Amino acid sequence: MIWNRFLSGFVLFLLSLSAAAEQYTVGFLAFRGEAQAREEWSATLAGLNNATPEQHFVGRYLTQEQLDQELSAGQLDFVVTNPAHFMLSQSQKLNWLASYLDPYYGQARASVAGTLWVRANSLIVEPSQLRGQSVGAVHDHAFGGYLLVAEQLRRQGVLPEDLDLRFSGYPVDALAYLLRDGALTAAMLPTCLLEDMQQEGLIELANFRALMMQDDTHCVRSTPLYPGWSFAAVGVTDEKLLRSISRALLALEYQQKPLWGAPIRLDDVEQLLRDWQLGPTVAPVLPLQLLRQVIIRYWPFLAALMIIALALLLHHYRVTLLLLRRTLERDKLHTLMQDKEQELAQARQRILMGEMATGLAHELNQPLSAIQAYAQAGELVSQTAQQQEAFGHIVAETERGAAIIRRFRQWATQPLPSAEPVDFACLCRELVERMQSRADALSVTLSSECHNGTLLTVRPAIEQILNNLLGNALNAHGRLAATAGQIGGYIMVKANPVNGGWQLTIEDDAGGVDPSIIASLQQNLPATHYHGMGIGLLVSHRLALRLNGRLTLENTKNGTRAILFLPEES
């Protein structure tokens, strides 16, 4: 009797203590059902009750929809859920106290993932083969059981609308059975679920195969690891109580391993939900407020950009000034070049007039000398026939002098005469006959080797060039006889067809010419007067150019060789 009274009193005492302790309700997301969740979170509840005897914590094990309903109804004081559900429930004024340290990974920062499973004997090896196939998931907001795997599929080009999605609801274990029995082609499951079910003797893991497998992982997974579960207060504002609970959670251990750690950032989870357009709607920010936020947050980068922009503007201003300066210098140089070109044109005109005057004097010297010689010979002879012949030569030389003047005027002011067929053998004979008397006077052998043939060209111009070259050769022999006493020699005139035209050559052994005359001849400039040869060669050179030909002069071993090339179409 007394013992019964004692027991009754002790029970009443315990009941009074329990009634005196303040009670708090903790909601747990039971994605595998109430029994499994009660077993998994019992250590946490027991640790809280032992660490804070003045408070009493009771657990409620709910699906995600039930958690949302009781949170909205204000029936929960604390909640333990995955990071995605925590982010989606921010409107309930959750206060994050601790993060769960997963026993498999020993950390909270990377402990949640998802796995895409098919049957081991399935022919599907690539995610793209799932298009149009039945794929199971627990809930459209489930973190490891849908969102993580669906995100990886989307990155590989397989969108949710490409699949025959079937949401089975909680508990998630049912999905494994549906997949095993062939009711589904594939299933999206939280990582480590099938490993746990095999340890519990519920399934054989060898009957399943994972797709999109990741490397270096404790459990088979198809996605990267994300932050773990959260312990959060729901509207509790007692700071003393919250500190006590946080200390108690951080001190909890199970099998000599900590169960909870400090809260961690959920940036990756927030970005994932934003990509799937989930989570609370963010109020639009006014443009001025947004600008102010950007300036405050990124002011170092903006300052650097402003410095770079200012530097670019200064560089642009400097380049513009340099360009303007260069433009002015260019305009001045252009004006100077125009003035120089006008001066050069005037100088060329003066040179041309000088060349004409000197050329006339040079060319007329030959017929005038011949006229003088024939006139003197006419005075000495007494026979009428010889006098008539002398007078005939005088008339011919006079006509040749007049022709020279006409050619010079024509060369300076008018185009060349029309082209006509020229017989070079005949032309060479005429030139030799004309110069024979001068050659005989100098004891010079004047001969020719000219092939028969004609070329369409301007005869007066060719005749003047050859006259100049022959006259220069005879003058060279005359100078050689006067200076060195060397009498005799030869002058050879050749004309022969070559590839593309005709080549006329006049070669002598009169000692050669100064190399400066040859060099100046190629530059179209008046040569230094070396025994009177410069202007005659220059006139001949320019006449050859006007005939589209080429006149070259070279020194041989004993004399000079002049080569005139005339194209077939001159």
Mind listing the domains of the chain with CATH numbers? 17-108+230-275 (3.40.190.10), 114-211 (3.40.190.10), 418-567 (3.30.565.10)
Q: Is the pLDDT of residue 207 over 90?
A: yes
Q: Which long-range contacts (CB under 8 A, 24 or more apart) does 45-48 make?
A: 47/248, 47/249, 47/251, 47/252, 47/259, 48/245, 48/248, 48/249, 48/252
Q: How far apart are CA 174 and CA 182, in angstroms?
A: 12
Residue 505's pLDDT band (boundaries 50, 70, 90)?
very high
Number of neighbours of residue 323 by Cβ within 10 angstroms: 10
Q: What's the whole-number mean pLDDT along residues 415-427?
A: 83
Residue 14's pLDDT band (boundaries 50, 70, 90)?
very low
Q: Which long-range contacts (CB under 8 A, 24 or more apart) does 548-553 make?
A: 549/501, 551/465, 551/521, 553/513, 553/517, 553/518, 553/521
| More confident position, 207 or 518 | 207
Q: What's the whole-number mean pLDDT along residues 129-140?
A: 91
Could you give the C-alpha distances from 27 to 52, 96, 231, in angstroms and in order?
18, 14, 10
Q: How far apart are CA 66 and CA 148, in angstroms?
A: 22
Q: How far apart are CA 406 and CA 399, in angstroms?
A: 10
Structure tokens at 435: 């110069």
The predicted structure's pLDDT at residue 541: 83
Q: Is the pLDDT of residue 517 over 80?
A: no
pLDDT digits (tens, 9 = 90+) for 448-464: 999 999 989 888 888 88
Contact of 487 with 531, CB cutoff 8 Å: no
Contact of 497 with 533, CB cutoff 8 Å: no
**Among 271, 249, 246, 270, residue whose Cα is nearest residue 258:** 249
Poorest-confidence range of 50-59, 492-501, 531-540? 531-540
The predicted structure's pLDDT at residue 419: 82
Residue 16 pairs with which residues in a beta bridge? Answer: none
Q: What's the whole-number mean pLDDT along residues 81-97?
A: 77
Amino acid present at 70: E
Residue 23 pairs with which residues in a beta bridge? Answer: 56
- How deeply is 303 buried, as exposed, middle or buried, from its count of CB atoms within 10 A (0-12, 13-18, 19+)? exposed
The predicted structure's pLDDT at residue 356: 64
The predicted structure's pLDDT at residue 527: 44
**Among 302, 103, 87, residue whose Cα is nearest residue 192:** 103
Q: How far apart are CA 419 and CA 425, in angstroms?
A: 18
Amino acid present at 157: G
